[in-house]
A and B are shown apart, each in its own frame.
Chain A
């Protein structure tokens, strides 16, 4: 069994067969350019000279986790089991939860439940001294980058759900510049270190292309 218990045929990510809505993209583009003007994020994601790669991955992982936590936390009034029966990212994509330990086979859960499982799982990784060492001098495990990649893949799903399902609420709360800045930083960092497979980024492809032109 693989380290995280995810077998070849047990996918948590399943494309749904339906036509994507054009208006969804139009709505996104309407507010997508707003950011905080946070200086040069493209330079900011680069590994500082002389820095240990794992340390750089670790400190940024914690930051992205905190940001997603806070942004999603402002939407709990709207992201309810009734309104978001599944962890969807638009009409075409749906995520099911499995962590390979407590829940070995992917299960369909509501979006708030999925996020709760996800955030609890990530926090368990961050708190695990054998994965994210906090004491000075303690080494990172050999598979550290793989853990980080899984965390990033799953954090992306929260962004995908927010953009597809709750962006209008983000706008009404005047948070779109903050969301866009955090997401832009997240994507730039992801691409800099190859943390998420391209196909996993498909739900927000249009948005990502505005950040990283190919």
Chain B
């Protein structure tokens, strides 16, 4: 106890959790030398877990109360018999009970059948999988713990899990479960078979303004949905914009997401390297615009682009200057990224791309000199104006004073913002059946030497002990509204054909603005 020598190991993993205040108080604790770094780390994680728990617990109870009250109100207004009313209430109660049981069910790797690999990178892989009990198809993101720790990615992992668990929006890829074993962290997410915008751009080279307008507009709604939860993405890029089977866009991959009140940190290039070149605009290759690069060089950039998407570094081509310079930044940095993506959609290349990541960074930081437009392909004056209003200083950047100023830009004239996700998408991906992965790159199944099976239990040890870096990682999301749909059959069996279904009743209150009508099911190939 008091015998601890008070020595703090240099280079110890510094777990920065989501609340800056807690972080500050932790470092300012008067008894800081009395406990070890591991103990303080465990305490910080435990505190966050408990805070999250009570937030979710109380919100869950409130949501449940709201669902019950809403159904009661609608049942009373409907023309059904007392018996049928009671039956509908009992159905809701049964669903709530089932949901509650699911909340304490342990989810693990054995509950899923692993299928095709659709993504592979430094930290792990993304794979199609099927839930053994329901047959439902998901994307499983599997992250190697040892890589997370050695590359300082613990905080990124936590950020992604926390955001996905917190934000429930049709613009964001849905997280269904997260869990861990001794070697890996797992995120079980919605599978979006349409591929990503990066793949679309590589195939199409440029998009028409109508197609680009549609996807930039949907991107705006997606980015706004995480901003509303006080998260900044910081790394919006075409790889993170994924299409569902109907071609609608969802935002994914939140490894760099940080709550707005977090302290700034970055592993990006140092200030000096970026600013020291600022006055040497004559440097050879420095001011070369993408379309003036040799064609072969651009093709090489595209080939490298896909490899970068799966690497540790990724690509910095879409990152805002204030992020690169490690200045303070806010949600505005995401609008810059959107401007760079829009440029690429219409011109064919990002505005500041380069084979050399450091050169790309220099171009971004010196955007005033380096942002240029080629004579071909032709783009409208409005499109050019919008790009210039997104790729500019924070103070004058559109979006800094709210999303409405972006939506109001002339280039978006005619966009029905509240109908985007209900309308037909500008591009319809080819998807054949639930297991189709044709819109993703092919990855060979490398059957390496069979590794020792990761240890799953005991769960308590997973919750605490050596894995305190990943405390509170487990998450289960059950879509109770979705399960209400399946109660239609029950109602029909027990009641008259005129009985309003639960989904119909609830739909009038909750579902109209959230559920996208399902298109007809495509038959399996």
Q: Which residues does A use to contact B, with CB under 8 Å?
A: 36, 38-39, 44, 48-52, 55-56, 58-59, 62-63, 66-67, 69-71, 73-78, 80, 83, 119-120, 123, 126-127, 132-134, 136, 169, 172-175, 178, 181-182, 185
Whether A51 pairs with B471 at a CB distance below 8 angstroms is no
Give 11 new A-B contacts, CB below 8 A, not counting A36-B50, A69-B460, A120-B458.
A38-B58, A48-B65, A50-B93, A66-B53, A67-B53, A70-B50, A70-B463, A173-B29, A173-B43, A181-B50, A182-B50
In the assembled complex, how far is the CB of residue A72 from the closest CB belonging to chain B, in whole angstroms? Answer: 8
A79–B42 CA distance with the chains assembled, in angstroms: 14
Q: Which residues of B contact A55 (CB under 8 A)?
A: 97, 100-101
Task: Tell me, yes or no, whether B477 is within 8 Å of chain A by CB.
Answer: no
Interface centre among B43, B64, B106 (most CB of A within 10 A): B43
Contact of B97 among A51, A66, A182 (CB under 8 A): A51
Q: What are 6 A-B contacts with C-beta separation under 8 Å? A: A48-B64, A70-B464, A78-B35, A120-B460, A173-B35, A182-B50
Whether A178 pairs with B100 at a CB distance below 8 angstroms is no
Whether B103 pairs with A59 at a CB distance below 8 angstroms is yes
Whether A50 pairs with B460 at a CB distance below 8 angstroms is no
* CB within 8 Å for A175 and B1 given contacts A50-B68, A59-B104: no
* CB within 8 Å for A132 and B104 given contacts A172-B34, A172-B35: yes
Q: Which residues of B contact A185 (CB under 8 A)?
A: 54
Q: Which residues of B contact A173 (CB under 8 A)?
A: 29, 35, 39-40, 43
A62–B58 CA distance with the chains assembled, in angstroms: 16
Task: Tell me, yes or no, whether B508 is within 8 Å of chain A by CB.
Answer: no
Task: Tell me, yes or no, whether B211 is within 8 Å of chain A by CB.
Answer: no
* CB within 8 Å for A62 and B51 given contacts A77-B35, A83-B1: no
Q: Which residues of A contact B1 (CB under 8 A)?
A: 78, 80, 83
A181–B50 CA distance with the chains assembled, in angstroms: 9
Q: Which residues of A contact B458 (CB under 8 A)?
A: 120, 123
Contact of A56 among B65, B100, B459 (CB under 8 A): B100
Task: Tell me, yes or no, whether B96 is within 8 Å of chain A by CB.
Answer: yes
**Which residues of chain B from 292 to 336 have a CB within 8 Å of any chain A CB?**
none
Whether B36 pairs with A59 at a CB distance below 8 angstroms is no
* CB within 8 Å for A174 and B50 given contacts A38-B58, A51-B97, A83-B1: no
Contact of B38 among A39, A71, A77, A83 (CB under 8 A): A77
In the assembled complex, how far is the CB of residue A33 from the closest CB belonging to chain B, in whole angstroms? Answer: 17
A169–B32 CA distance with the chains assembled, in angstroms: 11
Whether A73 pairs with B25 at a CB distance below 8 angstroms is no
Contact of B42 among A62, A73, A119 (CB under 8 A): A73
In the assembled complex, how far is the CB of residue B93 from the closest CB belonging to chain A, in whole angstroms? Answer: 3
A69–B1 CA distance with the chains assembled, in angstroms: 20
Q: Which residues of B contact A49 (CB under 8 A)?
A: 68, 93
Nearest 10 CB-CB pairings of A with B:
A50-B93, A172-B31, A73-B464, A70-B46, A173-B43, A74-B43, A38-B54, A134-B105, A62-B104, A178-B50
Whether B39 pairs with A77 at a CB distance below 8 angstroms is yes
A76–B57 CA distance with the chains assembled, in angstroms: 27
A123–B22 CA distance with the chains assembled, in angstroms: 31
Q: Which residues of B contact A178 (CB under 8 A)?
A: 46-47, 50-51
A123–B101 CA distance with the chains assembled, in angstroms: 17
B-side interface residues, number (CB < 8 Å): 52
A49–B458 CA distance with the chains assembled, in angstroms: 34
Task: Tell me, yes or no, whether B465 is within 8 Å of chain A by CB.
Answer: yes
Task: Tell me, yes or no, whether B26 is within 8 Å of chain A by CB.
Answer: yes
In the assembled complex, how far is the CB of residue A22 from the closest CB belonging to chain B, in whole angstroms? Answer: 23
Task: Tell me, yes or no, whether B61 is within 8 Å of chain A by CB.
Answer: yes
Whether A136 pairs with B98 at a CB distance below 8 angstroms is yes
In the assembled complex, how far is the CB of residue B506 from the closest CB belonging to chain A, in whole angstroms? Answer: 16
In the assembled complex, how far is the CB of residue A192 from the closest CB belonging to chain B, in whole angstroms? Answer: 14
Q: Which residues of A contact B165 (CB under 8 A)?
A: none
In the assembled complex, how far is the CB of residue B156 from the closest CB belonging to chain A, in whole angstroms? Answer: 22
Query: In this complex, what residue of A is CB-closest to B90?
Result: A50
Task: Tell me, yes or no, whether B92 is within 8 Å of chain A by CB.
Answer: yes
Query: In this complex, what residue of A is CB-closest to B50?
Result: A178
A39–B93 CA distance with the chains assembled, in angstroms: 24
Task: Tell me, yes or no, whether B440 is within 8 Å of chain A by CB.
Answer: no
Query: In this complex, what residue of B is CB-closest to A45?
Result: B61
Query: In this complex, what residue of A is CB-closest to B68?
Result: A49
* CB within 8 Å for A59 and B100 given contacts A70-B471, A123-B460: yes
In the assembled complex, how far is the CB of residue B524 from the closest CB belonging to chain A, in whole angstroms? Answer: 27
A29–B514 CA distance with the chains assembled, in angstroms: 49
A166–B140 CA distance with the chains assembled, in angstroms: 41
In the assembled complex, how far is the CB of residue B147 from the closest CB belonging to chain A, in whole angstroms? Answer: 25
Q: Which residues of B contact A39 (CB under 8 A)?
A: 54, 58
A174–B104 CA distance with the chains assembled, in angstroms: 29
Q: Which residues of A contact B104 (CB under 8 A)?
A: 58-59, 62, 126, 132, 134
Q: Which residues of A contact B468 (CB under 8 A)?
A: 73
In the assembled complex, how far is the CB of residue B464 from the closest CB belonging to chain A, in whole angstroms? Answer: 4
Task: Tell me, yes or no, whether B49 is within 8 Å of chain A by CB.
Answer: yes
Whether A44 pairs with B68 at a CB distance below 8 angstroms is no
Q: Which residues of B contact A75 (CB under 8 A)?
A: 39
Q: Which residues of B contact A51 (CB under 8 A)?
A: 93, 96-97, 100
In the assembled complex, how far is the CB of residue A58 from the closest CB belonging to chain B, in whole angstroms? Answer: 6
Contact of A77 among B36, B61, B65 (CB under 8 A): B36
* CB within 8 Å for A119 and B54 given contacts A70-B49, A78-B1, A178-B47: no
In the assembled complex, how far is the CB of residue A97 from the closest CB belonging to chain B, in whole angstroms? Answer: 17
In the assembled complex, how far is the CB of residue B164 from the closest CB belonging to chain A, in whole angstroms? Answer: 20
Whether B29 pairs with A172 at a CB distance below 8 angstroms is yes
- Chain B 450-490 interface 0/1 with A at a Cβ cutoff of 8 Å (1 = within): 00000000111001110010010000000000000000000
A145–B105 CA distance with the chains assembled, in angstroms: 19
A38–B38 CA distance with the chains assembled, in angstroms: 27
Q: Which residues of B contact A169 (CB under 8 A)?
A: 34-35
Q: Which residues of A contact B31 (CB under 8 A)?
A: 172
Q: Which residues of B contact A127 (CB under 8 A)?
A: 106, 459
Q: Which residues of B contact A80 (CB under 8 A)?
A: 1
Whether B463 pairs with A69 at a CB distance below 8 angstroms is yes
In the assembled complex, how far is the CB of residue A159 from the closest CB belonging to chain B, in whole angstroms? Answer: 14
A73–B36 CA distance with the chains assembled, in angstroms: 13
A49–B163 CA distance with the chains assembled, in angstroms: 31
Q: Which residues of A contact B61 (CB under 8 A)?
A: 44, 48
In the assembled complex, how far is the CB of residue B302 from the closest CB belonging to chain A, in whole angstroms? Answer: 48
Interface centre among B1, B34, B98, B471 (most CB of A within 10 A): B1
Whether A69 pairs with B29 at a CB distance below 8 angstroms is no
A83–B89 CA distance with the chains assembled, in angstroms: 55
